[in-house]
Amino acid sequence: MLQKIKKNQFLFEELVKRDFKTKYKRTILGVGWSLLSPLLTLLVMRLVFTQFFGQNTPHYTTYLFCGNLVFSYFSESTSQGMTSLISNAGIFAKVNVPKYLFLFSKNVQTLINFGLTLCIFFVFCALDHITFTWKFILLLYPILCLMLFNIGVGLVLSALFVFFRDVQYLWSVFTQLLMYASAIFYNIDGYSYTVQCLFLCNPVYLFIRYFRKIVLDATIPTVWFHLLMLADVAIVLGLGCWIYKKYNTRFLYYV
C-alpha cells in the first residue's frame, strides 16, 4: 500500500490540496472557519448545557471541548470519507489508480483541520488553568488510533455508499444518536457500573475518555483500556480493507 501511495504521490498531494481548497472555496474567512466553527459550537453547547450538566463538573468548558473536539473530527472525517469514491468516480473510471487514495486525501484534509482545532484546545486548557504535564505527549496514541479508526470507518462507508445511496441518510441519523451516547456534555459517574461498562462499547467514547483522563485527571488509562481501543481500530480497519479488496473491481459498475 505504501509503495502504491509513493508511486502516486503527485496525485495524492494534488487531491489533498484540492479537498482543502474546495472546503473553503468562496468563503470570506477561509481557513479561519477551521478555528471559528468549533469555537462557535463549543459556545452554543456551553450556553445550553452548563446549567443542566456542568454545575458539578470541574473545568466543564475543557471537559466539553474534549468531547466536541474528538467527535467533530470523527464525524467530519467519516462523513467526507463516505462520498470519496462517488465524488471522484470521473477520475478512477478513466485512470487506473488505487481507489483508497481518494479516501486518504479526505482524511488528511480533516486531520489538518483537527490539528488546527487542537491548537485552540491547548490555548483553552491554559486559560482554564489546566496543568500541562509530560503525559500530554500520550495524546498522540488516541489521535493516531482515531485517525486509523476514521480511515477504517471511511473505507466501509465509502464502499457501501457506492452500492446503497441510503447510507448517507442512515449515517446522519446514526452520528446524531452516537453524539448523545458519547457523553460529550454529561458525566457518566452517576450511572451504575454496568451502564458505565456499556459506554466502553462505544469506540468514540473511548477516545474522548482518553483525552479527559490525560488532560483533566492527569492520569494514564490502564493497559486494558489501550488494548480495547487498539482492538476497535484493528477490527474496523481490517473490515474496511477486506471490503475494498473484495469489491474493488465492482465499484466501476455502480458509480
Distance CA 58, CA 23 (A): 36
Is 2 inside a domain boundary?
Answer: no
Write down the residue that cell numbers 468563503 correspond to.
Answer: 27
Report the greatest alpha carbon distance in the chain.
58
Examine the pLDDT at 247 and tell me if it is beyond 90. no
Is 8 inside a domain boundary?
Answer: no
Is 17 inside a domain boundary?
Answer: no
Is 20 inside a domain boundary?
Answer: no
Is 24 inside a domain boundary?
Answer: no
Is 11 inside a domain boundary?
Answer: no
CA separation, residue 156 to residues 78, 125, 159, 166, 242 (Å): 10, 35, 5, 14, 9
Is 139 inside a domain boundary?
Answer: yes
Q: What is the mean pLDDT of residues 51-55?
A: 59
CA angle 19, 110, 99 (to 5 degrees): 60
pLDDT at 12 (0 to 100) = 58
Q: What is the mean pLDDT of residues 133-152?
A: 95
pLDDT over 90 percentage in the chain? 38
Is 64 inside a domain boundary?
Answer: yes
Distance CA 220, CA 78 (A): 28
**Taking the model in full, what pTM does it have?**
0.86
Highest mean pLDDT among 124-133, 201-210, 239-248: 201-210
Distance CA 62, CA 120 (A): 11
Write down the residue that cell numbers 489508480 correspond to.
Answer: 97
Tally of structural domains, the chain? 1
pLDDT one-digit tens code per residue, 81-129: 898 878 777 776 666 677 778 888 888 888 988 998 898 899 888 988 8
> Domain range holding 185?
32-253
pLDDT at 142 (0 to 100) = 96
